[in-house]
Amino acid sequence: MQNTDKIPSTRRNTAGNDAFVLSCLVAVCSFGIFTISRIDTPRSIETIIAASEMPAPAEQAETEVAVVAPDPVLDAPAPPVTAPVASRVITLPPPSRARARLPSAPGFITLLGDALNDAFFYRSDYSNPTGHYGGDWAHDNIGQSAEGTNLSVRRHVSRSGPYTGGEMKTRKTYGYGRYEVVMRPAKGSGLVSSFFTYTGAHDGTAHDEIDIEFLGLDTTRVHFNYYRNGRRGAAATFDLPFDAADEDHLYAFEWTADGITWFVDGEPYYKTVEGDAFVPKTPGSIVFNAWTGKPGMAGWHGKPTFESGASAHYSCVSFSPIGEESRACSDLFLPRRHHKTAAQTAQLSIQPSY
């Protein structure tokens, strides 16, 4: 009987080698499966595809230059956004009309106590034989002091009548904007003190005009008046809470395509109605004067009993074009405020058309 407890050594070695080989195969297979599973994951595949399709740096640069060119329309810079600017003007026209313009000289301010600029102002010195004025304009009736300019009315026989008056006007013409004057009218029956714009036949245009007027007969009232093509609009008279002849005050009117608003010491007093057909449309000279009329005017301004040499005083005149901020008389003159707006008391129905 064969003894099975004794196994030859060669057989034992073969069995050990088989076990080692089997272990190696298992290890190799496990490593292969692990490697294949890493390669087959979606993330790894996407990364490989992206890397394979990515152009070389030089090719990428050439593609950008050739394809990504600036478009003159799409790539144009956006327009700047401008914040609204507050305006110091009390009343503003609607935005659609605020842009309306008339030919106009630039804005200005003049302190009439300074040396008078003859290149800027014309000092009237001529006769008025056919007009409503009761005498000539005399250069000598224009006086100057440190406080301003005085325009006098004198009982002096002239070519046009028994009086002479004083007048100044700009050599240039002005359109839509704000007109301001600091003045003190002459006091005395028969006297008229004015600040206004004017253009007419002498300038080769229609008669257009906007007025601020004072009658020396009663300087506690102010008169507002306007014309277009020689036809007068709805003129009005207002009581003032002061006597205008006692001290300087600030008077103004604002003229736009929509109408006219008049101010006293910065407060609105009167405004034309919407669509008023008599609002002027022609640029004019700025004029200020002191005068008395022919005998037929006495029913309006009173019998001329004034003292010879009585004068109206003007210390500042300014113009600011519509929509622009420029230095004005109101920036310098600080009047005593009167918060009560006077009521309209009369229409100037007897005012002559001139």
Within 10 A of 207 (CB to CB), how many other CB atoms are there?
21
Q: Residue 320 is which amino acid?
A: S
Single-letter amino acid, residue 20: F
* Catalytic residue chosen out of the listed positions 46, 53, 167, 209: 209
Per the residue annotation, which of 180, 213, 307, 324 is the catalytic one? 213
CB neighbours of 156 closer than 8 A, spacing ≥ 6?
A: 135, 138, 162, 163, 164, 308
Please check whether residue 206 is in contact with residue 228, taking contact to mean a CB–CB distance below 8 angstroms: yes
Measured distance CA(23)–CA(21) in Å, rounded: 5
Report DSSP state, residue 296: G
Q: Per DSSP, which regions of 192-309 are E strands? A: 192-199, 208-215, 221-228, 231-232, 236-239, 249-256, 259-264, 267-271, 285-291
- CA–CA separation, 291 and 87 (whole Å): 37
Residue 324 annotated among the catalytic residues of the structure: no
209 is catalytic: yes
Which has the closest alpha carbon to 269: 280, 282, 254, 257? Answer: 254
Q: Are 248 and 193 in contact (CB under 8 A)?
A: no
| Whole-angstrom distance, CA of residue 99 vs CA of residue 105 | 17
Residues assigned a catalytic role: 209, 213
